[in-house]
Amino acid sequence: MPRWNSCNILQIAPDASRLWQFDAKGGNFVLSREQKTADGAPLPSRFVAKSWNSLWQPKLNVAWLPPENVFLRVIELPKSNFEETRSMVELQLEKLSPMPVGQIVWAIHILPSASADLQSVIVTIASRANVEEFLGKIEARGFLADRLETPLLDQLSVTPPTEDGAWIYVGTRGQNSALIAWWIGGTLRNLSFIVLPTTGDSVKSLREQLTQLVWAGELEGWLTSSPKWHLVADPVNAAQWQDFFHDAINEPVQISAPLAPAQLAANTARRAAAATDAGLLPAEFPLRYRQQFHDRLWLHGLYTIGIVYAVCVAIYFGVREVVTYKTTDVEQRVAALGTAYTNVMELQARYDVLKERDQLKYAALDCWKIVAEQLPDDLPLQHFIFAGGQRLTLSGTATQDQFDEVLNFNKAMKKVQVNGKPVFSLTGGEDVNPRIVGNNLNWSFTLQLANTEEPR
Largest CA-CA distance found in the chain, in angstroms, rounded: 172
Q: How far apart are CA 338 and CA 341, in angstroms?
A: 5
CA–CA separation, 86 and 194 (whole Å): 28
Domain spans of the chain?
A: 1-115+124-158+261-282, 160-258, 283-362, 375-448
Q: What is the pLDDT of residue 5?
A: 87
Give the 3-state secondary structure of 35-81. Answer: EEEECCCCCCHHHHCCCCHHHHCCEEEEEECCHHHEEEEEEEEECCC
Q: Mean pLDDT by 10-residue block, N- to C-terminus, for the chain (456 residues)?
A: 80 87 87 87 83 82 91 92 92 91 93 82 94 92 91 84 85 84 88 87 89 90 88 87 85 88 92 86 89 84 91 94 92 83 85 76 80 84 82 86 84 83 82 83 86 49
* CA dist., res. 58 & res. 177, Å (int): 37
96, 46 Cβ separation under 8 angstroms? no
Check for a shared fold between 1-115+124-158+261-282 and 160-258. yes
Estimate the crossing angle of helix 235-249 against helix 202-220, to 10 degrees.
70
CATH, domain range 160-258: 3.30.420.40
Task: Assign 389 to helix, strand or coil.
Answer: coil
Report the distance separating Cα 384 and Cα 346, nearest Å. Answer: 34
- In whole angstroms, how far apart are CA 72 and each of 110, 150, 151, 219? 13, 10, 12, 20
Cα dist from 281 to 60, 184, 250, 287, whole Å = 13, 32, 43, 11
Say what the pLDDT of residue 453 is.
Answer: 47
Helix (H, G, I), strand (E, B) or coil at 104: strand
CA angle 47, 70, 221 (to 5 degrees): 140
Cα dihedral across residues 52, 53, 57, 58: positive or negative: negative
- φ, ψ dihedrals at 415, nearest 5°: -90, -5
Q: Which of 408, 410, 394, 447 is nearest to 425 (CA)?
A: 447
**The CATH number, out of the four listed (3.30.420, 3.40.50, 3.30.70, 2.40.160), of the domain defined by the range 1-115+124-158+261-282:** 3.30.420
CA distances from 2 to 22, 103, 302 (A): 13, 35, 31
CA distance 182 to 72: 13
DSSP codes of every residue in 246-303: HHHH---EEEEPPPPHHHHHHHHHHHHHH-SS-BTS-THHHHHHHHHHHHHHHHHHHH
Task: State residue 451's pLDDT score.
Answer: 66
> E strand or H helix at 449, and its extent?
none
- E strands present in 153-204: 165-170, 177-184, 187-195
pLDDT at 226: 85
H or E element, residue 454: none
Instruction: Give the CA angle between residues 136, 137, 139 to the nearest 5°.
Output: 65
